Amino acid sequence: MTARPAVGWRLPALAAAGLCLAGGLYAALLLLGTPVPAPPAAVETVHGPVMVFGVVGTLVALERAVALGRPWALLAPACSGAGGLVLLAAGPGQPGMFLLMLAAVVLLGVYRALWARQQSVALLAQGLGAFAWYAAALLSLAGFPVADTVGWMTVFVVATIAGERLELAHVGLTAPHAEPWFLAALTGLTVTAAAATVWPEAGTRLFGLALLAMTAWLAVHDVARRTIRGARLPRYIAAGLLAGYGWLALSGLLWAGGGPAGGGARYDALLHGVFLGFTVSMIFVHAPVILPAVLRRPLPYHPVLYAPLALLHGSLLVRIGLGDAAGLAAAWRWAGVVNVVAVLAFAACAVTLSLTRGRRSFPQRTSPPAAPVPS
C-alpha cells in the first residue's frame, strides 16, 4: 500500500492557494475601479491566470495528489501555488508562467499514474483538462495575450469538472450512448479550442457550439437532476451545479453567436459566466466533500452555505444583466464588488463551520473527486 503524503505537507499548497485567492480578489477590485490602493506590481493584468491556475489549479492538483498518494505528486500544487504568487509579486512574466506550466506537466504525470491503476473515460477527461492547462501556459510563454488563451483555460475547468461529474453519473447512467456522446462533446471542445487559436473567428464560434454540447450532456445526464429533489447536502450541491450549467450555457451562446472577444461587455460576461458562475459555484458546493478528503477535517453541511451561493449567482445576474447587457456601469461595478463579497463570505462560512462543528466524525470518501470543484 502506498503511503499518503502527511496532511502537514499539504498545508503549504493550500495556503498558497489561499494567498492567490486573496491576491486575485484584490486584482478584481482594481479591475472594477474600486478605490483601493494599487500595489507595485500590476496584479490586475494577471487576475485571470492567478484565479484559474493559482487557485483552482492548485486545488485540483492537490486533490489529485492526495488521491494518488505519492509524495512527488505534491510538486504539482506546489508549483501552481508558487507560480500564482510569483505572478502576483512580479506581474506578468515568464518565471510565474513557467511554474504554472511545470505544474501542468507534473499533473499530467499524476493522471498517467492514476490511469495505470484504472482506466476510464472520466479520468481521460480530467487528464485532457491538465493538457489544456499546459497548452494555455505554453501559449502565454510564447507571448499570446490572456484573451487568446481563454479557450484553453475554459477547457481546463470544464473537462476537469465534467470528468468528475461523469464519474458520479455512472451510478445512475442508463442511456445506452451517454458515454460516446460525452467523448464526442469532449473531443469537439478540444479540437475547437485548438482551431480558435489558429482561426479565431470560425474556431471561436465552433468552440461555443462545442461548449453548448458539453453543457447539454451535463444537464441531461448529471445526477443533480434527481438530487435537486433531495435534502441537505445533495440538494445544495445540485442547486449549485444546475445554476452553474446555466451560466456555462450562456457563455457558450456568447461565443457561438459573437465570435472572439478581447474586451468589453461581452468578454466580461462570457468570462465570468465560465469562471465565476460555473467554476466558483462548483467550488462552493463541493467544498464539504473536497476539504475533508484533502485535510482529513470535516466541513459539515449547514443551510447557511446557501447564503454565499445565492449572493454569488444573484450578484452575477445583476453584473451581466444590468451591467454588461444594459450598460449600467454603476450596477456592473457594485455587482462585481458583491461577487468578491460572496467568495469571502463562503470562505468565512467554511472556516467557521470547520472549526466549530468539525470535531464530529465524518464519513470517509471512497473515491475522492477530481476537481476543486467536486461532488
Is pLDDT at 54 greater than 90 in this prediction? Answer: yes
C-alpha cell of residue 282: 462548483
| Whether 164 and 178 share a structural domain | yes
Dump pLDDT digits (tens) for 210-266: 999 999 999 988 888 888 898 899 999 999 999 999 999 999 999 999 999 888 999
Q: What's the pLDDT band for 3 if we cut at 50, 70, 90? A: low
Q: What is the largest CA-CA distance in the chain?
A: 59
Measured CA to CA, the distance from residue 348 to residue 131 in angstroms comes to 33
Measured CA to CA, the distance from residue 99 to residue 110 in angstroms comes to 16
**C-alpha 365: how far from chain center:** 21
Is pLDDT at 174 greater than 80 in this prediction? Answer: no
pLDDT at site 366 = 39
273 in Cβ contact with 250 (< 8 Å): yes
Measured CA to CA, the distance from residue 154 to residue 150 in angstroms comes to 6
Number of domains present in the structure of the chain = 2
| Whether 63 and 4 share a structural domain | yes
User: Which is more confidently placed, 58 or 7?
Assistant: 58
pLDDT at site 5 = 61
Residue whose entry in the numeric block shows the C-alpha cell 453584473:
319
Among 119, 143, 175, the domain boundary falls at 119
| Whether 172 and 230 share a structural domain | yes
Percent of the chain with pLDDT over 90: 72
User: Which is more confidently placed, 284 or 354?
Assistant: 284
| Whether 220 and 322 share a structural domain | yes
Q: Which amino acid is at 150?
A: V
Q: Note down the domain range covering 54.
A: 1-119
Contacts 24+ apart (CB under 8 A), 199-203: 200/148, 200/259, 200/260, 201/259, 201/260
Q: What is the pLDDT averaged over residues 104-111? A: 98
255 in Cβ contact with 205 (< 8 Å): yes
> Quick one: which of 154, 150, 149, 102 has its CA closest to 128?
154
User: Which is more confidently placed, 9 or 244?
Assistant: 244
Average pLDDT score over the chain: 89
| Whether 170 and 215 share a structural domain | yes
Percent of the chain with pLDDT over 70: 91
| Whether 91 and 233 share a structural domain | no
Count the Cβ atoms, other than its own, within 10 Å of residue 230.
Answer: 13
Q: What is the pLDDT averaged over residues 294-313? A: 91
152 in Cβ contact with 175 (< 8 Å): no
| Whether 115 and 129 share a structural domain | no
Q: For the stretch 287-308, what's the b/e string if a residue is b when 16 or more beta carbons lie within 10 angstroms of its beta carbon?
A: bbbbbbbbbeebbbbbeebeeb
Q: What is the dihedral of CA 149, 154, 155, 161, to 10 degrees?
A: 150
305 in Cβ contact with 347 (< 8 Å): no
| Whether 223 and 323 share a structural domain | yes
How many CA atoms does the CB half-sphere of 90 hold within 13 Å? Answer: 12
| CA angle in degrees (0–180, nearest 5) for 50-56-58 | 85
Among 72, 89, 119, the domain boundary falls at 119
Is pLDDT at 372 greater than 50 in this prediction? Answer: no
| Whether 133 and 107 share a structural domain | no
| Whether 272 and 364 share a structural domain | yes
| Whether 262 and 342 share a structural domain | yes
Among 78, 101, 119, the domain boundary falls at 119
Q: What's the pLDDT band for 2 if we cut at 50, 70, 90? A: low
Measured CA to CA, the distance from residue 215 to residue 197 in angstroms comes to 22
User: Which is more confidently placed, 368 or 82?
Assistant: 82
Measured CA to CA, the distance from residue 33 to residue 3 in angstroms comes to 48
pLDDT at site 109 = 97
pLDDT at site 368 = 41
Q: What is the pLDDT averaged over residues 179-186? A: 93
| Whether 113 and 139 share a structural domain | no
